Amino acid sequence: EAQVTQNPRYLITVTGKKLTVTCSQNMNHEYMSWYRQDPGLGLRQIYYSMNVEVTDKGDVPEGYKVSRKEKRNFPLILESPSPNQTSLYFCASSLSWRTGTNTEAFFGQGTRLTVV
Amino acid sequence: GQNIDQPTEMTATEGAIVQINCTYQTSGFNGLFWYQQHAGEAPTFLSYNVLDGLEEKGRFSSFLSRSKGYSYLLLKELQMKDSASYLCAVDTGGFKTIFGAGTRLFVKA
């Protein structure tokens, strides 16, 4: 089954304790991205990756890191989480970023993170 | 700046038709997406419009006017399961898609 898998689904952590949210897709998609979703603000892009070893900042990258060592995996790293990073996080993948190709995004099931 | 506006909430009756509007002002435009998101779940793709006009897909249709910076999603024969948030998103080119805050649709019996 074609899917994007995120783990964990729920996480409660303390301020400053490093954490990683994993994301994996089995569709051989080139493009992957991370979003956070907050009430009234919609989905905001954190980081994206056009292909292996190619990543760039989205609109709200502060406090986050990513890596793309393999095409299927795109983990999100919070080196020192703070309470303002409490949010619902979604990983998404698309076949390609190139204009004119199918850019429909497939989303993971989300990770609800609480930082206390 | 980048701006996408859609109503916060709408209510409609089962069996009726509802139109959810979206206006946008973005620095670039390749196309416009509509996604559906049920509470607590991931967004799922509904449509992608590149050219002006109406595209129909079953009970759902999406319209785009590039010159007016305007789109709408039309849902016909509403069902209770259509209660969800509907997200308008602009493919701005430059590897970015910008999402509106979403419209929560309540379908009542």
Token pair for residue A18?
């490093």
Q: Which residue of A49, A98, A107 is the best one to mutate when testing the B interface, meaning the one whose CB has the most B CBs within 10 A?
A: A107
10-residue stretch averages of pLDDT, chain A, 116 residues long:
94 97 95 93 93 93 97 97 97 76 83 98
Handedness of CA A50, A52, A54, A57 (dihedral sign): positive
**Residue B99 and residue A42: Cβ atoms within 8 Å?**
yes
> Is residue A84 helix, strand or coil?
helix
Of A42, A50, A99, the CB nearest to B93: A99
Write down the pLDDT at residue A43: 94
Give A39 to chain B, closest Cα distance, Å: 8
Q: What pLDDT score does B4 carry?
A: 95
Residues pairing with A48 in the sheet = A33, A56
pLDDT computed for residue B96 by the predictor: 81
Which of B37, B44, B97 to mutate to probe the A interface, most A CBs <10 Å?
B97
What is the widest separation between alpha-carbon atoms in chain B? 44
Q: What is the spatial distance between Cα B30 and Cα B14, in angstroms, rounded to a whole number?
A: 34
Q: Minimal CA–CA distance to A109: which of A83, A95, A94, A89?
A: A89
What pLDDT does residue B7 have? 97
DSSP H helical segments within chain B, as ranges? none
Which residues of B fall below an 8 Å CB-CB distance to A?
Answer: 4, 30-31, 33, 35, 40-45, 48, 87, 89, 91, 93, 95-102
Instruction: Give B30-40 pLDDT, tens digit per residue.
Output: 899 999 999 98
Residue B47 and residue B59 in contact, taking contact as beta carbons nearer than 8 Å: no
pLDDT on residue A99: 53
Please say whether the beta carbons of A28 and A52 come within 8 A: no
A-chain CB neighbours of B39 within 8 Å are none
* Of B5, B11, B36, B39, nearest in space to B105 by CA: B11
All residue ranges of chain B with pLDDT < 50 are none
Contact B41 A42 (CB under 8 A): no
Question: Looking at CA atoms only, how far is residue B33 from chain A in angstroms?
Answer: 8
Query: Tell me, what's the pLDDT at A103?
Result: 74
A45 touches B97 (CB < 8 A): yes
